[in-house]
Each structure stands twice: as C-alpha cells, then as structure tokens.
Chain A
Amino acid sequence: MNYLLHISVMLEIYILLALSANQKVGLSGLLSLAQAVFYGLGAYTASITITKFEFSYWLALPIAILICVIAGLLFSFVAGKVRELYFSLATLALQIIFFSVAYNWIPVTNGSYGISGISNPEIFGLKINTPASFALFGGVWVLLVILFYVWFLKTPISRLIQATRDDQIAVLSLGKNPNYYKRISIMLSAVIAGIAGTLYATYTTYIDPSSFTLDESILILSIVLIGGAGRIIGPITGAVIYILLPELLKFLQMPDSIAANMRMILFGLLLVLIVRFKPKGLFGKYLIQ
C-alpha cells in the first residue's frame, strides 16, 4: 500500500512538472531543455530556507516562488533574443551551467553531498509525513493547478500567449508586445515547476544535484511531447505513462535490473515514434513542426 502511495506522490510531482513544461512548450511553443532548472531552484530554495533558517514550509514556499519568478524573468530574456533550435540550445547551456553551480557552490548547496534533514510540511499543526498524507497533499496541489488551467485557458491573456506562439508578427500588428506574453508564460511555468520542486524536497527530505540534470529536463520535455502539448490532458497522460511503465514491466515479471533500462528504451522509442508519426502527441492540440 505504501508503495502505491509513493508511486502516486511521484506521479503528482511529474504531473506538475509536465503541466509546467506544457505552459512553455504547448502554449508558447518554446522547446525548453531547462525545466529541471526551475524544479531544482524550487527544491533548493525550499531546502535551504527550511534547513538553514528553520522556516516552515508555508514561509519557504513563497520564497521559492519568488526566486522562480525572478529566474523566469531572467530566463525570458533568452527567449526574447533567440528562437527555435538556438533557444533549445541556449536552455541546454543554462541547464548544464545550473548543474555545475549546484554541484560546486558547496557553501550554499553542499555540492554532491546534497542537503538532508528537510522537514515535512505542516497544516494546522498536522504534520504531513506519511505517504498517504503526502499523496493527499500533492493531490490537492495537482487539483489546484488543473483548476487554474481550466480557468486560465479561457482568459484573453492565454489566447494572446497562444497567438504569440502561432504568429508573432500578427501579435505585433495588434499592438501587443510578443516578448511580454512569452515572459508571462515562462514565469508561470517557472512557478509551477518550483512548486513541484518544493514538494519533491519536502517529500524525500533529501536532495542533491543529480535530481536536476539535463536528463531530467529531457525527460520532462519528452513527457509533454508524448502526451501531447497544448491541452491539460496531454501532459497528464504523458506523466501517467512514464510513471506506470515500470509497473507494467514488473507485471510482466521483468527483473528490476532490466526494468530500469527497458523503461528508458521504451520511453525513448515512444518519443522517436511520436515525433516521426504523430507529432501532436497522443492527445495534443498544438503541432510542433
């Protein structure tokens, strides 16, 4: 039972990450390879404020969100300057620089030893420290973000964000600044990834740089592309496939040593096949060409 609950917490974290990446990829058409940077920033900010300054989760969370907003703002200048492949490459570079800093800035991040002893969140004096309570807590976050998107996708600003994705010049001709909408999109995406990071840090109570690598960013992007970008259902499907794939392999009685590689082989293959034959992803709306 605990294992099942653990799986659901991981699923909730990945749904949040996939929805945050969908904001960039699906709504803004920005293929970013740096989603793990914001995930990591959220996790590190929460961990440092909780362990070093003994803040509660509810004080650490707004600080993490603030840091992610600032980072998103800085990041959006990159998006304003370069497009398409060069945007992806610039984000790839940012991702690797972030990992280098997290790994080497020992006084703050404790390098490869990571940060341990991160305390669990509390609500009204109740400590969220069992898998069941955490699954519920994560579930509430996922629900909040989904509800937010149900509302947000109907707002004029979301339509302008999508218009910027489809035709920047048309947006300019309406007297709107496309970079402004990209900036909003990137900051929003950063905040959701940051929240996922705070959840991850307080759930596992230990983080180190190896959770926020380029591989993780590629994985998050793949989840969105496989599920399909642009709709809420797409990224959720992608995350479900990624998390449940190993369980399916276990069901087929595959030993653990093989299952880890097999999961990545199937996932990589799925990504290639989707890109090649079904570029919209399983349930996507926006076609990346």
Chain B
Amino acid sequence: MTSTIHDLGYRRYDGERLSSRAAWSALFTHGLRTLFGLGRPARSKALPVFVLIMSNIPAYISVFVSSETGLPIRHAAYFTGVSILYILFAAAQSPELFSRDQANRVLPLMFSRDLSRLQYASARLLSVLVAIFLMVLIPQLVLLLGGIGMAADTMTAFQERWATIGPILAVSLLASALLGTVTSAIAFWTPRRHLATATAVGLFIVLGAATTALGSTSVLDTKTAQLFNPIVVLDFCNRLLFDEPSRRVVRTIAHPLSVYVLVLAAYVAVSLGAIFWRARTVDA
C-alpha cells in the first residue's frame, strides 16, 4: 500500500436514482446471498453447504430405494427427520445478518441512507425467511420430482403426485415462518453472533425438554404439553398436511390442523413483535 492519496479528480454522478424500494430489494438480495455464503470467504459457505448436502442426502436415498423396491415415497416424516439441520441453519445464519450488522456497526451507515428502520428489519427478515424456505423446499422437491422421474410411467406419476406440491409449499412456509422469525428475533436482540446462535439452539432444546417434563407430570396432559414444542407442532402439521398412512406410530395427533397452525402463528407473532420493537429502539 502506497501512502499517497492520489488526486484523480472527482466526477459528479448525475445518473438515475431509484426509489427506496430499490434500496430495500438490494438489501434483501444481498442478505439472501450472505445467508448462503455467496460473495463471502469460503468459511462462510461451509455451514450452508453442509446443511444443504446433509438435508438432501436422505431424499436421494429415498428416491433411489423407492425406484428399486417400488415402495411409495413419503414426505410427511422428512422434515422432522432432518429438522435439527434446519434449526442449526436458522440459528447460525440469522445472526449472520442481524447480529453481524450490529457487531460491525454498519447500522448507522444504512439508517443514514434511503432505508428506514422498518425497511431494514423487513428486508433482513425476508432474506432469512426465503433462505429457510428454500432449504426446506429443496429436498421435498427432490422427493417429488425424483419420484415422478423414476416412475415407469412418468405422465401418470405426474398426474398422481403433482398435487403434493401444495402441502410441500405449505410445510416449507410454516417451517420457515417459525424458524426464521424466532431466530431473527433472538439474533436482533443479541449483537454477539455466537451467543445468538447458542441461545436459539438452546431455546428449541429447552422447549423440547420442557414439553417432555410437563407431559410426564400431572400438570398438563401430553396432548396439551406437546403444543409448547414448536418442532413437534411442525411435525404434526407435516403429517396432517401430507395425510399419508404412517408406517409406525410415533405420537398421536390430538388436535385439528388449525390448532397447530395457530400455535405456530403465536410463536411468529411474538417474534415479529420482538423484531419490530428492536428495529425501533436499536442504537444506530
């Protein structure tokens, strides 16, 4: 590095200036890229790539086994099977945006531009939601399209199974809404990235343990206690939405789908409240 500041003149900019919507979408796109480690050093790509590969391997195995044995492909249990990976992804990547921006102190630079605090929070949150949505969606699509592609009669298989796309989109939406808002809220309130990740993972573990503990005492019956564990609730949503006959009975579903969706909505609402409250009060 030479220690001279070169004088090459300064040129004015009189080109186009876009609306603050454009700034918002630039922030959204940049956030989405950041979550997958794109345009960032290799070590930032490690976790998203790991989760992407690990969460897809069972799908490929499933498709392969199905094509060899003719057993039907099942979607309902897939999310629960790899849910720990999604929790890891959400807990690790939401702080990449919300905590990092605070730790690096770039918020003043953003808030002094065409972005309001609300726009900042919404763009960041949407990046997280879309990233998790894609993560949950991709293996389900592999199951669906793989099953269709491997079938002897592709056209018939397509007609029979294509309707599954509805439940697939629905569970991806529910999962991303829950994991995305909860981890974003924690990350926004925790400028230290690793602490935010640990807190988010811890929260899901504690909720699971609390459910078991409550269910085993006489305080609440198991059916009610299970409502507190969002991952179990998501599992129920999956099974109700896909409506597949289960090979083994894990947990009995005690409530209709609407109850479970309401429970998830409550988690999302509280998290959204926390996010937008933080957006208004965070020090820039």
- Whether chain B is bound by chain A comes out as no
